[in-house]
Amino acid sequence: MKRKVGIMGGSFDPIHIGHLVVANEALNIYELDEIIFVPAGDPPHKSSLKADPFHRLFMVNMAVLSNDKFSVSDLEIKCRGKSYTLNTLREFHKMYEDTEFYFITGTDAVIDLPNWYKPEEVLKLCRFIAASRPGISIKEVNEKIDEIKKTFGGNIELLKIPMLQISSTEIRKRVSMGISVKYLLPESVEQYIIKNKLYKEK
């Protein structure tokens, strides 16, 4: 029987409770054997990440420590040049034999799939789990998913999760303004941000 492995890609700038809730819901609902968090190195869709790759990787490692089904890969961070999901998936297919991959991301990213690098190829290598995000209508998402499937094929499923109004952008903003981010991210990550003076206005 094939192993079922989730890949949770993202900039994780920083990782927060919302990411962990999504991963845990996907793990349970799809009965995955493991979820690998893959912090982006140099993502093609984001112009500038605020924390450097070392800090983001370290924070993800701390955040997932308490869950033995969660692990972290530095594959994209070690990669030179832009981090394309297609290349990441190809590498995982080489590393893991007899495995079915589930790529877990937000509905906003899934809606943008037609603009990804070789989306048709990406959709052949994994099943997509699109986690609902606050402010994006489910009806609109379903219509867009149907459109993508018709154009590129593939398997995309919508995962409805508790609506957590948390975003990395909001966390960075609060930190820069000196507002507490307690309970929005794991305590170890919060302490790391404070200790390393991350997201403070330079």
- Give the Cα separation of 34 and 96 in Å (integer): 12
Residue in the structure block whose two tokens are 């994006």: 136
Structure tokens at 156: 């995309």
Written as one letter, the residue type at 167 is S
Is 93 a member of any domain? yes
Please give the residue range of the domain that contains residue 177.
3-195
Is 81 a member of any domain? yes
pLDDT for 161: 83
Task: Give pLDDT tens digits for 135-144.
Answer: 788 899 999 9
pLDDT for 46: 64
pLDDT for 70: 98
Domain count of the fold of the chain = 1
pLDDT for 20: 96
Task: Give pLDDT tens digits for 115-171.
Answer: 999 999 999 999 999 998 777 888 999 999 999 999 999 999 999 887 677 889 999
pLDDT for 41: 85
CA dihedral over 129, 3, 18, 112, signed as positive or negative: negative
CATH of the domain at 108: 3.40.50.620
Is 26 a member of any domain? yes
pLDDT for 66: 94
- Give the Cα separation of 22 and 100 in Å (integer): 19
Is 200 a member of any domain? no
Q: Tell me whether the omega of the peptide bond preceding residue 186 falls within 30 degrees of 0, making it cis.
A: no
SS3 74: coil
pLDDT for 14: 97
Is 106 a member of any domain? yes
Residues of the chain under the 50 pLDDT cut? none
Is 201 a member of any domain? no
Is 36 a member of any domain? yes
pLDDT for 134: 74
CA atoms within 13 A of residue 43's CA, in its CB half-sphere = 19
Residues in the chain: 202
Q: At what angle do helices 187-195 and 53-64 cross, to 10 degrees?
A: 150
Q: Which residues face 130 on adjacent strands? A: 105, 158
Is 202 a member of any domain? no
